[in-house]
Chain A
């Protein structure tokens, strides 16, 4: 695990690098929770961001790295007085989020599926969710949320 912290142009920037292991998910949640608290977010917003990052990292562990435990996950978190932004980078298999439609909950219920809710929750809980995938190089998930001071 590696943590880097910087303050550039009134932006607070922190970086956490961990291996793609489920036992690191609680580390990631603690990192996000601590930094989001420092940004002055409400408890509810912090919890929503924490869950969204957890979902993104779980997807990386399960799908991008296919449960390979030594892949690298890089989490960059930055905030200013208006917005908190998080980027999550992996070097696993390319993932095209457009192939995963937003679930209609009633249809989801009828189909009896287990997975597929992670992105739905991320999109519900964050203001903006973007994916960038460069095949053979990296995948990046970008999450952001406006700051409503607690």
Chain B
């Protein structure tokens, strides 16, 4: 089981200011995007959009977004997940979610987003689901 942790970096100052809020790990052919920020507002969400676009252009088809550390997400973040998920489906890939805390979980359920994304409680469950 291979697991590599890298820090995201960018050359732009604007981008650099948000880089501490995200971290990525790789597990075989699955890229795990870990949201380390407690709160995701629309600026951080737009930064994360660039990260996901880059992941997809690098050829990652299976992306797992880990929200375990995050207590607050804004709607533009949901829109970005929806858009990335759609791009991945075109390549027979998938975007899945783990670690929904109380508020994000509530938004996913009330907003109907559980119909668009598979949500798992643990990383192990999510990783196994990609293989299924």
Contacts and interface: CB of A to CB of B under 8 A. Distances in A.
Interface of A: 22, 25-26, 29, 43-44, 47-48, 50-51, 54-55, 58, 62, 105-106, 108-110, 112-118, 120-121, 124-125
Contacts, number: 77
A110 B83 CA distance: 9
B83 A58 contact: no
Given A26-B39, A58-B41, A105-B113, A114 B72 contact: no
A114 B49 contact: yes
A47 B113 contact: no
A41 to B, nearest CB: 14
A29 to B, nearest CB: 7
A117 B43 contact: no
B80 A114 contact: yes
A58 B106 contact: no
A115 B76 CA distance: 6
A84 B86 CA distance: 38
Most chain B CB neighbours (cut-off 10 Å) among A58, A110, A116:
A58
5 contacts: A62-B42, A114-B83, A116-B79, A118-B75, A124-B110
* Chain A binding surface SS class: helix
Contacts of A26: 39
B83 A113 contact: yes
Nearest to B102: A47
A112 B74 contact: no
B107 A112 contact: no
B82 A109 contact: yes
A29 B107 contact: no
Contacts of B26: none
Interface string B40-72: 011100000100000000000000000000001
B78 interface: yes
A22 B72 contact: no
A25 B101 CA distance: 20
B42 to A, nearest CB: 6
B87 interface: yes
B27 to A, nearest CB: 26
Interface in B86-106: 86-87, 102-103, 106
A109 B43 contact: no
A120 B78 CA distance: 12
A117 B79 contact: yes
A51 B103 contact: yes
A105 B116 CA distance: 8
